[in-house]
Amino acid sequence: MEDIERNKKFKTTPSSEEIKQVIQNTKTPLVFKNTLTWDLLHWSLEDWVEKLGNPKLSFRIGTKKCTKVPQWESNCPVVSGTLNDLLDDANASSDTWMYFDYKHMNQHFKTKTNLLETVSWADFGFPDKSGNDSTIWIGTEGANTPCHMDSYGYNIVAQVYGRKLWVMFPPCKTSLLKPT
């Protein structure tokens, strides 16, 4: 991965328009460290529960145990629950993981303007994009999506809480991956 901080093209901190140009024209993944200033970056898990309330969400469930076949999304059971339910599962010594995946924020949290407005992609050159244009992925430890290729141009991801492991494959392996 290429770290924008080490990119020699920029003598000073790049402008949002320069960042946008790099995003739109790169052929390799980019990592932008310590770029975002969103309020939600400082929210605790309890803050998330308080701010989002308890709407019913659909969670996929899988096992943390080693399986002989991938746990494809279409084969994972789906249960209805709240963010509190997800956190309770995460805090229990559970053999399962759960996630609420790539859901449009404006559909699930349309009354939560504090959340939708705090997400702004302006620093990346997209001042007209906000939480209204974004998806959200919330999962417990071990939650994953099997190997796949995102097929929709470019993808800007903000890691807000916790951590996520990305395993990247070179472009020459594209034919071996299935699009989303």
Nearest 5°: the CA angle 144, 135, 91 is 45
Q: Three-class SS string for 109-137? A: CCCCHHHHHHCECHHHCCCCCEHHHCEEE
pLDDT by residue (tens digit) across 25-78?
988 888 888 888 899 999 988 898 888 888 899 999 999 999 999 898 889 999
Q: What is the mean pLDDT of residues 20-25?
A: 93
User: Structure pTM?
Assistant: 0.79
Beta strands in the chain (DSSP E): 2-3, 30-31, 57-63, 78-81, 96-104, 135-139
If DSSP codes are grouped into helix, strand and coil, which group holds residue 98? strand
Edge-to-edge strand list for the sheet holding 135-139: 78-81, 57-63, 96-104, 135-139
In the prediction, which pLDDT does 120 show?
94
Structure tokens at 38: 């969103």
Contact indicator for 114, 51 with CB cutoff of 8 Å: yes
Residue 12 has pLDDT above 90, yes or no: no
Q: Give me the chain's average pLDDT, please.
A: 85
Beta strands in 85-134 (DSSP E): 96-104
**Residue 162 Rama label (left phi>0; alpha psi -120 to 50; beta):** left
Residue 8 has pLDDT above 60, yes or no: no
